[in-house]
């Protein structure tokens, strides 16, 4: 066996959860290999458009028609444009099979989608961990809020989360930097909603931006957020959290990190003689050569669908249907967030008021449906977000040219309001991913076959949002209220979860309460694939907390000789 290919730990994936696994393992003294299927991206050095202006770009930051025709899925993503295309996977280069429309948005490079994420970070509440067991969907979570609470705090302090302390049980407070500020119209809407509804709470968004960097953030080489709203280009200030600016450098600082980009993980190796996982099989992205790496513990953080792919492709005599898949549930119970509901409105007055900068978060309202008990004709509920702003052109629909253009551009138009839902969807066995039986990619991996869709519960939830959102905006004094069903495909939310869910019973889940595979004790899955249910919050901070917690447990188990 090649000693150069032996490590104490291997992390598959370098995105938000993979970066955290690397940092924690390295800081605990383990020689750790991080495998990333995409190219290397170094902080600042490899952000080619971070300071570019729109007129510097050939198509003024728009994608040409040819790209839209070749890559229709990624072109539907809000963040995909001429300034960010280098961080996105092109449909034409990485195809997959859609049983039903599913927009799979991916970022294959060191840092993964941590370079592209929307950076919204809300904790789950006790109600989210209790809901499946209480309401009888999915399976009961094997952990409760009090078990992850200290790990939320641990990662929040390192990441840097801006937010306000509100004392709201449905959206617990965290370790916050100073919050961003609502503008005058947003405050009016907040006050009127809170006055009208005693069960609804409105607060400024919580996001992974350094509004006031602490000493440990400065030591990471990170600085204050400038509210440029160009985050997905890669932030030269390191002001928003990414693996590239934060966790991976922290891991490298220990001297224990080996990072190998261009490493497509084909499968996890199970030794039928030793009756344990011994390593991973990797295909070089460029040369297609195959290499095996070995370690005592494996953390799988390839992102939800790719983590399912790797496990399904990891077959052996012991596990003919995928690693750890005695239950036959691997790849099933995939869920996501329902973003289909939007509402727009106008707000009169405050023509003498404006705002400063490009704030990286909206105003938010935690879920108020089916919180403590089942009370609606649909399961679970939705978070609500809104923002208010003033468009240009003095309210005119078409921009003129010349002097009139300059004049109107300096006079903002009336206030507009935008509201959206982020709905919890219910995991279902029929919502699944499987391996294609006859289509392979260029690295010898089966293509993913995705069979995921909305159901009646999602439509009922959306219609309730339309009804309640309209009513709230009316009571807040808005006018010209219009609802819109975007009819977007699942996946465009970029919050897909499940397939390798946590649970108490090996017959109904793949992972235990420590994100450890029931039947392969030295394999841990801590990205979105591990999620038992989706909640209505943005999920990334929960992935980070689960990862730090799982690494702490794994290292302690290793020291006890149990892995």
Q: What is the pLDDT along the chain (563 residues), one digit of tens a residue?
A: 678 999 999 999 999 999 999 999 999 999 999 999 999 999 999 999 999 999 999 999 999 999 999 999 999 999 999 999 999 999 999 999 999 999 999 999 999 999 999 999 999 999 999 999 999 999 999 999 999 999 999 999 999 999 999 999 999 999 999 999 999 999 999 999 999 999 999 999 999 999 999 999 999 999 999 999 999 999 999 999 999 999 999 999 999 999 999 999 999 999 999 999 999 999 999 999 999 999 999 999 999 999 999 999 999 999 999 999 999 999 999 999 999 999 999 999 999 999 988 999 999 999 999 999 999 999 999 999 999 999 766 555 676 778 887 777 777 889 999 999 999 999 999 999 999 999 999 999 999 999 999 999 999 999 999 999 999 999 999 999 999 999 999 999 999 999 999 999 999 999 999 999 999 999 999 999 999 999 999 999 999 999 999 999 999 999 999 99
Q: How far apart are CA 89 and CA 115, in angstroms?
A: 13
pTM for the model stands at 0.97
> For residue 393, what pLDDT is reported?
60
Q: How far apart are CA 139 and CA 502, in angstroms?
A: 9
**How many C-beta neighbours within 10 Å does residue 272 have?**
10
Rounded to 5 degrees, what angle do the CA atoms 216, 222, 226 make? 125
Helices marked H in 229-336: 248-253, 304-313
**How many C-beta neighbours within 10 Å does residue 151 have?**
19
509, 501 Cβ separation under 8 angstroms: yes
162 - beta bridge partners? Answer: 177, 207
Pairing of strands 32-35, 9-12: parallel
Give exposure, 314-324, as e/b (b: 16+ Cβ within 10 Å). bbeeebeebbb
Q: How far, CA to CA in Å, does 54 sit from each of 48, 58, 82, 448?
A: 13, 9, 9, 36
DSSP category for residue 368: -
Helices 456-475, 184-196: inter-axial angle, 10-degree rounding: 110
361, 204 Cβ separation under 8 angstroms: yes
State the DSSP H helix or E strand holding residue 461, giving kind and residue range, or none if neither: helix 456-475
Q: How far apart are CA 47 and CA 116, in angstroms?
A: 12
Give exposure, 373-389, as e/b (b: 16+ Cβ within 10 Å). eeeeebbbbbbbbbbbb
**How many C-beta neighbours within 10 Å does residue 561 have?**
6
Which strands form 263-271's sheet, in the order they lie side by side?
A: 263-271, 276-284, 290-294
Q: How far, CA to CA in Å, does 228 sit from each of 209, 224, 418?
A: 12, 11, 20
> For residue 396, what pLDDT is reported?
58
- Kindly report, residue by residue over 191-250, the tens digit of the pLDDT: 999 999 999 999 999 999 999 999 999 999 999 999 999 999 999 999 999 999 999 999
> For residue 505, what pLDDT is reported?
98
> For residue 397, what pLDDT is reported?
60
Q: How far apart are CA 539 and CA 304, in angstroms?
A: 12
281, 267 Cβ separation under 8 angstroms: yes
> For residue 1, what pLDDT is reported?
60
> For residue 399, what pLDDT is reported?
66
> For residue 402, what pLDDT is reported?
81
* Closest among 102, 62, 89 to 434, alpha carbons compared: 102
Helices 145-159, 126-135: inter-axial angle, 10-degree rounding: 140
297, 279 Cβ separation under 8 angstroms: no
438: left (phi over 0), alpha (psi -120 to 50) or beta: alpha
Q: How far, CA to CA in Å, does 414 sit from each of 393, 403, 451, 475?
A: 10, 21, 44, 19
> For residue 391, what pLDDT is reported?
78
């Amino acid at each position: 066996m090649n000693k150069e290919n032996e490590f104490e730990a291997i992390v598959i994936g370098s995105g938000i959860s993979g970066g955290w696994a690397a940092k924690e393992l390295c800081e605990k003294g383990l020689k750790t290999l991080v495998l990333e299927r995409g190219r290397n991206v170094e902080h600042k050095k490899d952000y080619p458009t971070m300071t570019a202006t729109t007129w510097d770009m050939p198509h003024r930051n728009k994608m040409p028609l040819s790209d839209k025709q070749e890559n229709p899925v990624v072109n539907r993503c809000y963040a995909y444009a001429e300034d960010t295309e280098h961080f996105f996977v092109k449909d034409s280069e990485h195809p997959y099979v859609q049983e039903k429309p599913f927009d799979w948005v991916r970022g294959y490079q060191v840092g993964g989608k941590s370079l592209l994420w929307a950076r919204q970070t809300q904790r789950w509440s006790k109600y989210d961990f209790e809901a499946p067991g209480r309401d009888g969907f999915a399976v009961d979570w094997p952990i409760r809020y009090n078990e992850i609470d200290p790990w939320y705090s641990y990662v929040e302090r390192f990441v840097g989360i801006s937010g306000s302390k509100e004392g709201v049980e449905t959206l617990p407070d965290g370790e916050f930097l100073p919050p961003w500020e609502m503008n005058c119209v947003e405050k009016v809407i907040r006050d009127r909603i809170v006055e009208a509804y005693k069960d609804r709470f409105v607060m400024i968004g919580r996001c992974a931006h350094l509004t006031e960097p602490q000493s440990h953030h400065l030591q990471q080489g990170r600085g204050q957020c400038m509210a440029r709203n160009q985050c997905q280009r890669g932030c030269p200030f390191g002001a928003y959290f990414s693996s590239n600016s934060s966790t991976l450098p922290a891991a490298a600082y220990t001297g224990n990190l080996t990072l190998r980009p261009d490493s497509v993980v084909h499968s996890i190796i199970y030794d039928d003689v030793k009756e344990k996982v011994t390593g991973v099989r990797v295909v070089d992205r460029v040369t297609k050569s195959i290499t095996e790496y070995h370690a005592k513990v494996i953390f799988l953080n390839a992102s939800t669908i790719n983590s399912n792919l790797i496990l399904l492709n990891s077959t052996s005599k012991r596990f003919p249907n995928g690693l750890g898949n005695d239950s036959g549930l691997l790849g099933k119970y995939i869920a996501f967030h329902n973003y289909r509901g939007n509402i727009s409105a106008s707000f009169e007055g405050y023509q003498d008021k404006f705002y400063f900068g490009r704030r990286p978060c909206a105003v938010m309202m935690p879920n108020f449906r089916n919180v403590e008990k089942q009370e609606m004709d649909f399961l679970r509920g939705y978070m609500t977000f809104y923002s208010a702003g003033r468009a240009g052109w003095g309210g005119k629909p078409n921009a003129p040219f010349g002097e009139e253009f300059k004049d109107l551009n300096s006079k903002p138009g009336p206030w507009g309001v935008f509201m959206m839902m982020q709905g919890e969807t219910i995991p279902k066995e029929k919502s699944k991913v499987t391996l294609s039986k006859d289509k392979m990619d260029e690295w010898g991996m089966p293509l993913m076959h995705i069979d995921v869709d909305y159901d009646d519960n999602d439509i009922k939830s959306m219609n309730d949002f339309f009804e309640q959102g309209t009513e709230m905006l009316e009571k807040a004094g808005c006018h010209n209220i219009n609802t819109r069903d975007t009819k977007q495909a699942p996946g465009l939310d970029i919050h897909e979860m499940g397939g390798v869910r946590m649970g108490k019973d090996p017959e109904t889940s793949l992972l235990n309460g420590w994100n450890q595979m029931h039947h392969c004790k030295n394999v841990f899955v801590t990205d979105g694939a591990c999620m038992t249910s989706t909640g209505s919050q943005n999920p990334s901070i929960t992935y980070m907390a689960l990862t730090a917690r799982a690494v702490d447990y794994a290292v302690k188990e290793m020291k006890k000789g149990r892995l």
